[in-house]
C-alpha cells in the first residue's frame, strides 16, 4: 500500500517568515494529494489539495507543489501568522484503492 | 446541515469491555471511514465503506468491526477493548472515495484502563 513520509515533525518560525513542509509518497499511481490542518483539540480540516495533472496550486498565503517524477510534494505558507500554529498533515491516495494515507504530521509553531 | 457527528466525545473503558462509537453524516456522502490518531503517528485508517452494505479493512482493522446499513450511519465497534486501543477516533465522510475532501467529525477520545 501507499506510504507517506512527512518532514519535519516540528517547525518553529518567526511571525512573518515562511514555512515549508515536505512529503514523499511511494505509490507512483497516487494522483490526489490533500493537506489538512488540525488546531489543538479540533478536527482535521482540508486547507488545500492538488491532483497529479497540476504542478502547483495557490490559495492566498498557502501553496502546494508536486513533483511526480521524484514522488514528493510540499506545502508552503508565506507571511506566517499566529493562527497558522497547528498540526499539518499531508496525504496521498491512488485510484487503485479507496484509501487515503496520511503522513505523521508537522507541528508548526509561529512565534510572535 | 450538522455535517459529521460522533458520539460520545469521551469514553473510559475497562480492558475486555465492548462498546460502539457512533458516526452519522447528513450530506448524503457515499464514502465513510474511521481513523485513529495517536501521537507521532498521524491518522491511520481502521475501516472504510464506499456505500451502504459495503465495508472493507484499512491499515489497522484488528479489534474493530464496522457495518453500513444506511448511507447516513457508520458505527465502529470495539469487540474487547485493550489498552492499545486508547486513542482519539475520527469518523470522516466524502462525496466519493478519497479523491475528494474528507469531512471529519469532532472525534471521540477513548481511554482503556
Give the nearest chain A residue to B41 (CA atoms).
Answer: A104
In the block, cell 518553529 appears at A12
Residue B99 pLDDT greater than 90, yes or no? no
Q: Which residues contact B23 (CB under 8 A, 6 or more apart)?
A: B4, B5, B6, B32, B34, B73, B74, B75, B76, B91, B105
Name residues of chain A where pLDDT drops below 50: none
Does the beta-carbon distance from A101 to B58 stay under 8 Å?
Answer: no
**Interchain contact B107–A (C-beta under 8 A):** yes
pLDDT score recorded for residue B111: 97
pLDDT score recorded for residue A60: 96
Mean pLDDT for all residues in chain B: 95
Q: Which residues pair with A60 in a beta bridge?
A: none
**Interchain contact B59–A (C-beta under 8 A):** yes
What does the pLDDT look like over A40-65, one tens digit per residue?
A: 999 999 999 999 888 999 999 999 99
Examine residue B8 and say whether the peptide bond preceding it is cis (omega within 30 degrees of 0): yes
By Cβ distance, the residue of A44, A99, A104 closest to B40 is A104
Mean pLDDT of B5-22: 98
pLDDT score recorded for residue B39: 86
Amino acid at each position: 500500500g501507499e506510504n507517506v513520509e512527512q518532514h519535519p515533525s516540528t517547525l518553529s518560525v518567526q511571525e512573518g517568515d515562511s514555512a515549508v513542509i515536505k512529503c514523499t509518497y511511494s505509490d507512483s499511481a497516487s494522483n490526489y494529494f490533500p493537506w489538512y490542518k488540525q488546531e489543538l483539540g479540533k478536527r482535521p480540516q482540508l486547507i488545500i489539495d492538488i491532483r497529479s495533472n497540476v504542478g502547483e496550486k495557490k490559495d492566498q498565503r498557502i501553496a502546494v507543489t508536486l513533483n511526480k517524477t521524484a514522488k514528493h510534494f510540499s506545502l508552503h505558507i508565506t507571511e506566517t501568522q499566529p493562527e497558522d500554529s497547528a498540526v499539518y498533515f499531508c496525504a496521498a491516495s491512488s485510484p487503485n484503492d479507496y484509501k487515503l494515507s496520511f503522513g505523521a504530521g508537522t507541528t508548526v509553531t509561529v512565534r510572535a | 446541515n450538522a455535517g459529521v457527528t460522533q458520539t460520545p466525545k469521551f469514553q473510559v473503558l475497562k480492558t475486555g469491555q465492548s462498546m460502539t462509537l457512533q458516526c452519522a453524516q447528513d450530506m448524503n456522502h457515499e464514502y465513510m471511514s474511521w481513523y485513529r490518531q495517536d501521537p507521532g503517528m498521524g491518522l491511520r485508517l481502521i475501516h472504510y465503506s464506499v456505500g451502504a452494505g459495503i465495508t472493507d479493512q484499512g491499515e489497522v482493522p484488528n479489534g474493530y468491526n464496522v457495518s453500513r446499513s444506511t448511507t447516513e450511519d457508520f458505527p465502529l465497534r470495539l469487540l474487547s477493548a485493550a489498552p492499545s486501543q486508547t486513542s482519539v477516533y475520527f469518523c470522516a465522510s466524502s462525496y466519493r472515495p478519497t479523491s475528494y475532501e474528507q469531512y471529519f467529525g469532532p472525534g471521540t477520545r477513548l481511554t482503556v484502563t
